[in-house]
Amino acid sequence: MKLNHGDLKETQGDTGHAEIDMITKVYAHILDEDRKVNAQKFENAFYATNVDLRNVRPPEEKQEANLDIESLIEQLKKSPELAKTLQQLINS
- The residue range of the domain holding 32 is 8-46
Residue 88 vs residues 84, 85, 91: alpha-carbon distances, Å: 6, 5, 5
Structure confidence at residue 56 (pLDDT):
67
Give the chain's domain count.
1
| pTM for the full predicted model | 0.31
Residue 67 vs residues 23, 45, 62, 70, 72: alpha-carbon distances, Å: 55, 43, 15, 9, 8
Residue 52 is assigned to a structural domain of this protein: no
Q: Which tens digits make up the pLDDT trace of 16-49?
A: 888 888 877 777 666 677 778 888 888 877 887 7
Residue 20 is assigned to a structural domain of this protein: yes
Residue 28 is assigned to a structural domain of this protein: yes
Q: Which tens digits make up the pLDDT trace of 71-87?
A: 878 888 888 888 888 88
Residue 83 is assigned to a structural domain of this protein: no
The torsion region of residue 90 among left (phi > 0), alpha (psi -120 to 50) and beta comes to alpha
Residue 76 is assigned to a structural domain of this protein: no
Residue 38 is assigned to a structural domain of this protein: yes
What phi and psi, each to the nearest 5 degrees, are found at residue 68? -100, 95
